[in-house]
Amino acid sequence: MIQTEIKPEDIQVLVADETHERYVDTILQTIEDAAKVRGTGIAKRTHEYVANKMREAKAVIALAPGLEPGSDMRFAGFSYIETWGNKQYVTTSGLIVHPDFRGLGIAKRIKDVTFSLARIRWPHAKIFSLTSGKAVMKMNTQLGYLPVTFDDLTDDEAFWKGCEGCVNINVLRERNRKFCICTAMLFDPEEHLPAKIPQSVLDRINRLEGRITNSQELRD
Ligand SMILES: CC(C)(COP(=O)(O)OP(=O)(O)OC[C@H]1O[C@@H](n2cnc3c(N)ncnc32)[C@H](O)[C@@H]1OP(=O)(O)O)[C@@H](O)C(=O)NCCC(=O)NCCS
């Protein structure tokens, strides 16, 4: 019913801030319900973790108009970004669109914003995805991610801990993290440059920009 009334242009997709904290419990519940339907597990996050992502401008929220004139906007979708391995890797995580608003291109709009945020904040980081979701694989491909083996992903234990809530964790463990049900995909910013810059030049640039990089990290 609601779906037929809502048009994509009615839905706002924006970088979340502290004013959106009131949606956090609904977001977490929607993620949990979707995982049950899909029969997968999820990297479970706390209210505080998600609220912090909003405060740090690392989350994107989609909001639909309220049902009554003047009523509060309704939660329509969400995702956030996380860094791993000393910010050498980034993931756009927890993508969810509320069932009332699916098929309207909202996930694509959210993914475009999280991807752009990640590229702007950590331009040299590799962006990866570990997913069994067909829609996510399609969007990743459109953004230039390529399929890779698990060896190409971060070895940050904090990332892999997120897999422990998945129904397939035993498969991952038995294969020593080399294979699982999910497909690994990676966007390597260097692969998208027209020329390869030698490592010695990159080291020199890093030294020259050391001061800027450190102050950027303080902001992160
Ligand atoms: C997956 C999900 C985020 C898609 O949200 P959505 O707003 O309906 O997706 P969009 O309308 O933006 O579609 C984006 C693309 O994915 C495709 N797509 C969407 N749902 C799909 C599905 N179930 N199977 C295959 N492709 C799908 C669309 O065709 C579109 O591709 P296009 O740009 O080539 O047309 C939503 O269904 C959801 O929240 N599901 C439960 C949670 C989940 O699976 N999260 C992903 C974790 S890996």
pLDDT, one tens digit per residue, over 182-204 is 999 999 999 998 888 888 988 89
Strand-pairing partners, residue 64, are 74
CB of 129 closer than 6 A to ligand 1? no
CA angle (149 as vertex; 126, 78 as ends), nearest 5: 50
What is the rounded end-to-end Cα distance, in angstroms, of the chain? 42
Residue nearest to ligand 1 atom 17, measured at CA: 135
pLDDT of residue 29: 96
Percent helix, strand and coil across the chain, each rounded to 5? 50, 20, 30
CA angle (86 as vertex; 83, 90 as ends), nearest 5: 25
Strand-pairing partners, residue 78, are 61, 96
Q: How do residues 37-93 score in pLDDT, each as one tens digit?
A: 988 777 789 999 999 999 999 999 999 999 888 899 999 999 999 999 999 999 999
CB of 106 closer than 6 A to ligand 1? yes
Question: What percent of the chain lies above the pLDDT cut of 90?
Answer: 77
CB of 8 closer than 6 A to ligand 1? no
CB of 105 closer than 6 A to ligand 1? yes
CB of 104 closer than 6 A to ligand 1? yes
Q: What span, in angstroms and rounded, lies between the C-alpha atoms of 150 and 177? A: 7
**Ligand 1 centroid, distance to 35 Cα (angstroms):** 14
Pocket test for ligand 1, best of 31, 45, 78, 95 (most atoms within 8 A of CB): 95
Domains belonging to the chain, first-starting first, are 2-219 (3.40.630.30)
CB of 97 closer than 6 A to ligand 1? yes
Residues 6+ away with beta carbon under 8 Å from 20? 54, 59, 61
Q: What span, in angstroms and rounded, lies between the C-alpha atoms of 202 and 108? A: 33
Q: Please give the order of strands across the beta sheet that includes 89-97.
A: 12-15, 59-64, 74-84, 89-97, 126-131, 183-187, 146-148
